[in-house]
Structures are given as C-alpha cells and as structure tokens.
Amino acid sequence: MPVIKDNVIMLDDGLASHKPTIHDILSIIEDSLTKAGVSYDRISVKGAELIIDDRKPSKKMLIEPKLFTCPHCGFVTVSEEEYWNHLKCHYFGF
Ligand SMILES: [Zn+2]
C-alpha cells in the first residue's frame, strides 16, 4: 500500500512479487488519488520518489473540521471527547 506523507508517496514493495515499473506505480498512484478525491496538477518522478504537484487548496480541503453540536443547548466543539464530556453535564446535572 502506498504511504502518503506530505506530498511524497512511499511504496513498500517488499511484498510485491515483482518490482513494479515506475509506470505501474504511476497508474496506481493516479488511481489512488482519484479515488481519494485528491486533485493534482502533475506527478513527476525524482529518483525513487514521486512528486505530486498539488493544485491550489481545493474546496474539499477547505472544509472545516467535523463539528459536534450539543442537541440540548447548541454547544459546539470540534473535539469528540469534549463533546461527550459536555453531554454528561446535561445527563448528570452539574
Ligand atoms: Zn449542551
């Protein structure tokens, strides 16, 4: 499985039955990125690394973090833990 770290994708080919060609890898990466909904301008090969040129932040990447909203009082937090802690206040009546 490819590991995506920043804009560099590292491939662990230790389990591969044959060493994939760079062309094989490119099509796998393009496929993965498309499935993940990642947009990119181009992919270039630099030694053993594939460099992906991102587009400017897409709308997808600008989506705000998941928000947890308290159904009782409208309290909003991005932390699920904080959300559950907050809910206890209602249930246990602090
Ligand atoms: Zn609340």
- Integer Cα distance of 34 and 52 in angstroms: 13
Mean pLDDT of the chain: 74
DSSP state of 40: E
For ligand 1, the distance from its centroid to the CA atom of residue 87, given in whole angstroms, is 6
> In the predicted model, is pLDDT for residue 58 greater than 60?
no
> In the predicted model, is pLDDT for residue 4 greater than 70?
no
For ligand 1, the distance from its centroid to the CA atom of residue 88, given in whole angstroms, is 9
pTM of the entire predicted model: 0.35
Q: What pLDDT score was predicted for residue 35?
A: 83
For ligand 1, the distance from its centroid to the CA atom of residue 65, given in whole angstroms, is 19
Residues with CB under 5 A from ligand 1 (ion): 70, 72-73, 75
Region 66-92: mean pLDDT is 89
- Integer Cα distance of 62 and 41 in angstroms: 18
- Integer Cα distance of 19 and 63 in angstroms: 38
For ligand 1, the distance from its centroid to the CA atom of residue 71, given in whole angstroms, is 7
